[in-house]
Amino acid sequence: MDTSCTRSHDRRMRSRANAQARGLAEPARQERVCLITLGCAKNQVDAERMAHSLLEAGFRFTADPRRADVLILSTCSFIQDAVRESLSTARQLARYKRDGSCRSLVVTGCLVQRLGPDLFERLPEADLFAGLSAAARMGPILARHLQAGSPRTIVLRPPPLAKGTHPAPSEQRLVRASWAYVKISEGCSNRCSYCTLPGIRGPLRSRPREEILKEVRWLAGSGVVEFNLVAQDVAAYGRDRGGRSSLALVRLLEGMDRIDSVRWIRLLYCHPAHVGGELVQAMGRLEKLCPYLDLPIQHASDRMLETMGRPYRRSDLFRLIERLRKARPDIALRTTVMVGFPGETNRDFDALLRFLEEVRFHHVGVFCFSPEAGTPAACLPNRVTREESLRRRKEVFSLQASISRRILSGYVGTAQDVLIEESNGPDKGSLRGRTRYQAPEVDGVVLLSRTRNLPNVPVVRARIVKARTHDLVGELLPESPVP
């Protein structure tokens, strides 16, 4: 529990030294806040805005939950496993109200949006519940809550649906040292039969391009060089504004590509049905766009795809991947698949395995089906047992491990730009970073021996000397650092 809190504070909520120098904060309050974040990259962006609001309101941060006056848990509730994790973590944190200095336990995010007032009964230990729209206003909300004596309260507003209503201004967030997530839209209008997100976060609402570019310029001015675009469906950006598939996203990417201090741009969570020809062409021509695409296919059996509500078929995926590799031969493709969906037969599962073996994705995430209340899939017959789902997941992981080892071995002997994430790794003498082919937090890393002192630069040049199942090992080249 302590490790999770420290990781969230140090890696996700870190305020650069110049944040306070900019005069963001009011005179410091006495209360110390520990902010713990669960869930996906979109949730992390919300938590970064929350942290900014807290800093602006004068709250201080601590990485130690035992020393915190206020514990804030930013939650996920996408599937039941995430709900259970969120509830369990909140109950673990509640012990600091007995054994630490905690005055108030605050639960925020998707769990609150999904369960609402039911949480009063399910989490009697919590004092304040705040929904998704409260993230950018958490500072004043918490200040009023504490001033009122911390009564049990819920601040619950559904995600805004009106046009022209968008996330907080670009500067209202804290940033990492060299890379950041940039959320380009909120909500989702896809109708996958298993998914709760449209009900939690509402329909697709794309942010204006100029607002996003303003945020990118601000982040770049704060030292960020890698920009990872996230949304429930990045490739759907602009469709709610009448835009043609991919074209609005390409215009955004072109604007980012023209910003001098932007080095790497990465696309995450791109629904295959929305990756149009303009985006495929952009992968081949935009210099700063990483040769990387996160393409969650979910399955490769036509029967399963239809039942899941995915509007493409196996042959469509083959054609799309062929076009992407033709446009960018070195592209690294990540995907996510689901096993154990109701009615998934051995034949369906074998079709998925054959597809993965033939396509050879660089990175694969695997999830077992989770029946979520309110979704069409929750009522489907022919459930696959939990034991069989876990067995199938293990088989996919085993297959992908052998594929990953073969792919990564192809990098041995090559020179790569490596973005440094940690300048002092676990062995106190190493550097840890990533190539253009590795996304933060979900893919492998590059491990570098520290053979000499380096200037304070985000990207170095290294030769890959060894490949593991998911990670690479490299040596710094004489021409490091990369200017």
Average pLDDT, the chain: 86
Angle between helices 277-285 and 314-327 (to 10 degrees): 30
**Which residue in 206, 295, 220, 233 sits closest to 265, CA to CA?**
220
pLDDT per residue as tens digits for the range 114-142: 999 999 999 999 999 998 888 888 999 99
Tell me the C-alpha distance between 205 and 211, whole Å.
13
N-terminal to C-terminal alpha carbon distance within the chain: 40
Q: What percent of the chain has pLDDT over 70?
A: 85
Selected residue with higher pLDDT from 363 and 429: 363
Find the mean pLDDT for residues 215-221: 91
* Segments in 65-147 forming alpha helices (H): 80-93, 95-99, 110-115, 119-122, 138-147
Average pLDDT in the 207-214 region?
94
Q: Quickly list DSSP for 239-280.
A: GGGTPPTTHHHHHHHHHHHT-TT--EEEE----GGG--HHHH
Domains of the chain: 2-155 (3.40.50.12160), 179-409 (3.80.30.20), 415-476 (2.40.50.140)
| pTM attached to this predicted model | 0.85
User: Strand, helix or coil at 340?
Assistant: coil
Q: Give the pLDDT mean for 312-319.
A: 97
Q: Each residue of 394-449: pLDDT tens digit?
A: 999 999 999 999 999 999 999 999 998 875 554 555 788 999 999 998 999 999 87
Residue 6 reports pLDDT greater than 60? no
With a pLDDT cut of 90, the percent of the chain lying above it is 62
Quickly list DSSP for 405-450.
Answer: HHHHHTTTT-EEEEEEEESS-TTSSEEEEE-TT--TTTS--EEEE-
Whole-number pLDDT of residue 13: 37
Residues β-bridged to residue 186: 205
Residues paired with 183 in a beta bridge: 230
